[in-house]
Amino acid sequence: MKKFLFFLLTTALLSQPKLEDGYVVFKIYAPEAKKVAIAGDFNGWNRNDFLTRDENGFWTGKFKIKPGLYQYKFIVDDKWITDPGNPVRVENFNRTDYNSVFVLSYDWKILLQSEPDARANLEDIYPKTNKIYLNIIWHQHQPSYIDPERDELRGPWVRTHGTKDYYDMASILEKYPDVHVTINLTSSLLLQIEEFYVKRLKPYVNLERNRVDAKRYFKDGVRIDPWIDLMLKNSEEFTEVDFGYLYKNSWNCFSVSEVVLDRFPEYKALKEKNPNEYSISDIRKIKFFFYLANFDPDFLNGKVKLPNGLIVDLTDLIERREGKYYLKKEITEDDCNRIVAETFKVMSSIIPVHKKLMYDFKTRKGQIEIITTPFYHPILPLIYDTDVARICQPFDKLPQRFSYPDDAYMQVKKAVDYYHKIFGRKPLGMWPAEGAVSEQVVSIFVKNGIRWIATDEKVLSNSDPKGLPFYFPYRVDEDTIKGNNNENGSLLIVFRDTHLSDAIGFVYQNYDPEVAADDFIRYVLSFAPEDSSEERLISVILDGENAWEWYRKDEDGKGFLNALYRKLSKLYKEGQIVTVTMSEWIYGNPDRGIKSHPIIEHTEIEPLWAGSWINANFDTWIGEEEENLAWEYLLYVRQDMEKLNVKSPKNFESPKPGTKRYYELKAWESIYSAEGSDWFWWYGEDQTGLGGDEPFDEGFRTHLINVYKFLQKAGYKVETPEFLNNSILRLR
């Protein structure tokens, strides 16, 4: 009886898991147990992560976990149990049992949150409120996987998200004309879509036959990404290099989330099979499934008509039964070839569908405001001057100062120019990579004609004046025009609602889609002003790609998005929630009852806090040993370019291939690519990639090595530093 009372007391006090010294710590009281393990999303449901017992009968384990939502269970003497110290649980993926669940937020807090009462609010009944404006921004981004020397992409992720996310996140809005959103398409993403997957594949795709001329493709030496070659090559001719891309390398044909894998039982069985036992048929299916599992469910469940009139229909290959997909036939090499043609059709429709729905603030037509990001997605304030991190990270050790304002300017200018090339106009807004802002970079945006940017509400709370509510936009003035009331020298900033944005990214993945959409709507309405003359703007900003593959009760988040847009459409008609783009907010749209809000009329922030959307600082990209070493590498190479006096680009130049200037510009593209935030994101203990961090480390160093290779081809007498051949991850 004493043991039982002690058990009740201790589990009540635990209220776990807890965060201690950067580790997520789990405890369970099981004094009679011989062994205790923990398995969950954070360790791939590995049954062999055993906990350590102390003299009082407590078993403890600690894990380095990146922010996100996680399900887990303890395994006590081979018996699976939910966490008695965590009252929050959710149905597991198969809805046969329950798992414990918690959220680790990006501001490093443990959140225990279960699904609300699981009722589908099909009537969409909400309390009557005054009007509130909603600014939804979907951020679509991939880093530059381009290896300039090999002239191919090192990773397949632009393509996989292209067929799974980038097309349908825009096309879905056609069904909801009263819903207006903003989509951010980064330059590095657009470049890889257009230059590699569209222009390079187009000459080899026969749209009438729906096939690719593989023989001519290989004869011409076309390079796109290695997984395209894998599909067009006969599986019986695979080499060890091919098998690396198939299943041996960090990035391979099984690089999908466990949630996605569970929806394709035959695919999952192949992953669990001993590779030594793979048959040619197995190999063919593995590469085929890697493509198929990355098609949006709309393409798997029926015919989809693309903007150019082409049809994508995969229903002759696969069928859906009880929420899972099964092959309808034995897969052939011809089927694999066809999937590449289907991929081309979708990839070539991504930009056209955005153009079709693009909002024009002058004509007030369209639904989607399209914005972009500094070209290679750099943390712009750190490219300008890494010492700015001393403001928000005063106790962190920083690397030797990296300060290249001209590089920061070119990252923005290149993005504006490339956007203009693709869309025929210049962007009005930008999502600074990772919402990273500082006073220093305001003038760069202003000089390039950008009228508004966005970041996180935690940046606002650290800016002056203090105490400003996040549901209003604010103005920041360029240093040179302060006090002049010059509209052209001001920049409008909106601030991300952290709670709601993170709910979509981490919390709703375990909700019924109707319940999730209902929770979203009720939260937004809770901010509606009591005074009908007051206007409030809620901004929701997050990736429009990565969250959906983890939605367990809702395939690819489609149920949630359709429910959300349906509810927003009804509330627009009732005058309660008006989805608005920032160009509509600034310049007005009388057709939708939106008045103009000139930038100069907004309250000024002075000074703007230097920070990002994570923790209102830059500690995800600088301050840890690995991150600092990467900055030292980047500085070394950038200083070498300075010493050699390599003429920097001033605009888009098109020198003749093979000339000195051609290779100089190639070197500049390599250094700009290495300045991207994604490489620094994966260094350190705070982030870990699905396939490990090594491919990103290799990608970063490859860009730096290529600087020297191109300078050598340009005729410069320079040697590649030996240290660039050594992994930063192995040097820590």
Q: Residue 710 has what pLDDT?
A: 95
Q: How many residues does the chain have?
A: 732
70 CB burial (10 A radius; 0-12, 13-18, 19+): buried
Range of weakest confidence among 50-54, 230-234, 365-369: 50-54
Give the model confidence (pLDDT) of 456-469 as tens digits: 999 999 999 999 99
Instruction: Please check the confidence at residue 544 and state whether its pLDDT lies above 80.
Output: yes
Give the model confidence (pLDDT) of 146-201 as tens digits: 887 789 999 999 999 999 999 999 999 999 999 999 999 999 999 999 999 999 99
How far, in Å, are 380, 391, 393, 494 from residue 606 at the CA level? 19, 15, 20, 15
Percent of the chain with pLDDT over 90: 75
Q: Residue 5 has what pLDDT?
A: 37
Give the model confidence (pLDDT) of 291-319 as tens digits: 999 999 999 999 999 998 999 999 999 99
Measured on CA atoms in the order 281, 284, 289, 290, is the torsion positive or negative? positive
The third-level CATH classification (topology) of the domain covering 132-138+373-601 is 7-stranded beta/alpha barrel (3.20.110)
Range of weakest confidence among 82-96, 259-273, 477-491, 536-550: 477-491
The mean pLDDT of 99-114, rounded to a whole number, is 74
The mean pLDDT of 23-31, rounded to a whole number, is 90
Range of weakest confidence among 38-52, 251-265, 270-284: 38-52
- Rg for the chain (alpha carbons), in Å? 26
Cα separation, 66 vs 40, whole angstroms: 13
How far, in Å, are 186, 313, 402, 540 from residue 138 at the CA level? 11, 27, 31, 8
The mean pLDDT of 320-327, rounded to a whole number, is 95
Give the model confidence (pLDDT) of 60-93 as tens digits: 999 888 666 788 999 999 899 999 888 777 766 5
Residue whose C-alpha is closest to residue 676's, from 401, 441, 375: 375
Instruction: Please check the confidence at residue 235 and state whether its pLDDT lies above 50.
Output: yes
Q: Residue 689 has what pLDDT?
A: 54
Q: What is the mean pLDDT of the chain?
A: 90
pTM (two decimals): 0.86
Give the model confidence (pLDDT) of 479-502 as tens digits: 644 444 456 789 999 999 998 999
Give the model confidence (pLDDT) of 632-644 as tens digits: 999 999 999 999 9
Q: Residue 449 has what pLDDT?
A: 96
Question: Is beta strand 429-430 parallel, antiparallel or unpaired with respect to 89-91?
Answer: unpaired
Give kind and range of the element (H or E) at residue 369.
Answer: strand 368-371
Give the model's confidence band at 650: pLDDT under 50 very low, under 70 low, under 90 confident, else very high.
Answer: confident
Give the model confidence (pLDDT) of 560-586 as tens digits: 999 999 999 999 999 999 999 999 999
Residue whose C-alpha is closest to residue 529's, from 520, 521, 538: 538
Give the model's confidence band at 96: pLDDT under 50 very low, under 70 low, under 90 confident, else very high.
Answer: low
Ramachandran bin of 400, using left for φ above 0, alpha for ψ from -120 to 50, beta for the remaining angles: beta
Measured on CA atoms in the order 701, 705, 706, 711, is the torsion positive or negative? positive
DSSP letters, 470-493, are TTS-EEEE-GGGTTS--GGGEEEE
Cα separation, 96 vs 607, whole angstroms: 54
Tokens of 363: 């004509």
Q: Residue 52 has what pLDDT?
A: 92
Instruction: Please check the confidence at residue 680 and state whether its pLDDT lies above 60.
Output: yes
Give the model's confidence band at 607: pLDDT under 50 very low, under 70 low, under 90 confident, else very high.
Answer: very high
Which option is the CATH number for 2-111: 3.40.50.720, 2.60.40.10, 3.40.47.10, 3.90.950.20? 2.60.40.10
Question: Is beta strand 304-305 parallel, antiparallel or unpaired with respect to 311-312?
Answer: antiparallel
Instruction: Please check the confidence at residue 699 and state whether its pLDDT lies above 90.
Output: no
Cβ density class 261-292: b for 16+ within 10 Å, e for less: bbbbeebbebbeeeeeebeeeebbbbbbbbbb
- Give bridge partners of residue 25 from the DSSP assignment: 18, 62
